[in-house]
Amino acid sequence: MKEWNAPELLRISGSYWTCCAVQAAVQLDLFTALADGPRTEEQLSASLSCDLRALHMLITSLVALEFLERKGETVIASPSALMYLAKTSPEYVGFIIRHHAHIMPAWTGLAESVRSGRPNRGKSPVHTEDETEREAFLMGMFNVARQQAETIANTLDLAGCLRFIDVGGGPGTYAVYFCLRNPGLRAIIFDLPASERFARKVVERYGLTDRIEFVGGDFLRDELPKGQDVAWLSQVLHGERPEQAALLIKNAAACLHPGGRLCIQEFVIDNDHTGPVHPALFSLNMLVGTDGGQAYTMDEICLMLKDAGTKDIRLLELSLPLGSRVLIGTM
């Protein structure tokens, strides 16, 4: 085990100061306001409708963190900060940062959730009536998935496959990248109706409206369109309690024809429950934010795949960030 010391413990305990400063800057669209060049604090205060004194304090923190730089009376953003944090950039990851800000209050009640075993968050980001929060969650999923979707699509061989369903696909990131990699593939994004407008926007962005359709429904209650060659479930099991996760896998298996492949991507916990760090912490995120969701181990997912009737279960040989792994079973 690691030998801890007081300074390191205090650094970890106070690390939320840094993340809150970055989240606030993204929520205020500070970096977008600097995308066209340097501006004075007075100009930024007026355009962002912020108190000048308070904005000055935030900017000072971001300068110290090296997101921003002061040049005379003006403020300038670093090129890398603009690349990822200005809304006008195609590499923008601000949606997931906004989502992190939305779920932070639930994390402040973690101790109570551990005592009670219950979440302390209200509606899920998909079911909420707050359109800004829903956008942050769904497009945040696009921000995250886009970092590895091309790599996965290039590694998982879908030669000869014609029909692909992205179950719980949200904005449809994987449907898009698998279709880009496989010209003969047609895809369905199956998700709650609230996700449709975001998915259509992503599909249109990549020019795939003629090959990708959206079907609205509840993957635990509604029958999935049958006759699929591949069913893809990316980061959806962890939102469900074990019996629901098993039902979801069975529903996905039922939409495949014989020989079809059921692919599951998850943040997987080691079978001995010793790590990795991100899946372990992500399981706590499910504790505070869902009714029974959790990260699953490799053995648990393999057992659910086996119970759903798949065979030849294998792990995709691919190194992915944050403890993410892809398991494949064949019907």
| 166-184 per-position pLDDT tens digit | 999 999 999 999 999 999 9
Contact partners, residue 290, CB within 8 Å, separation at least 6: 119, 121, 124, 239, 240
Query: Domains of the chain, with CATH numbers?
Result: 6-87 (1.10.10.10), 131-330 (3.40.50.150)
Q: What's the Cα-to-Cα distance from 261 to each of 160, 192, 308, rounded to whole Å?
A: 12, 23, 12
Return the pLDDT at 126.
55
Quick check: 176 and 208 in contact, CB under 8 A? yes
% of the chain exceeding 90 in pLDDT: 93
Return the pLDDT at 294.
97
- CA–centroid distance for 7 within its chain: 32
Return the pLDDT at 275.
95
Q: b/e map of 151-174 (b: 16 or more CB within 10 Å)?
A: ebbeebebeebebbbbbbbbbbbb
- pTM for this one? 0.92
pLDDT per residue rounded down to tens, the chain (331 residues): 899 999 999 999 999 999 999 999 999 999 999 999 999 999 999 999 999 999 999 999 999 999 999 999 999 999 999 999 999 999 999 999 999 999 999 999 999 999 999 998 765 565 566 788 889 999 999 999 998 999 999 999 999 999 999 999 999 999 999 999 999 999 999 999 999 999 999 999 999 999 999 999 999 999 999 999 999 999 999 999 999 999 999 999 999 999 999 999 999 999 999 999 999 999 999 999 999 999 999 999 999 999 999 999 999 999 998 999 999 999 9
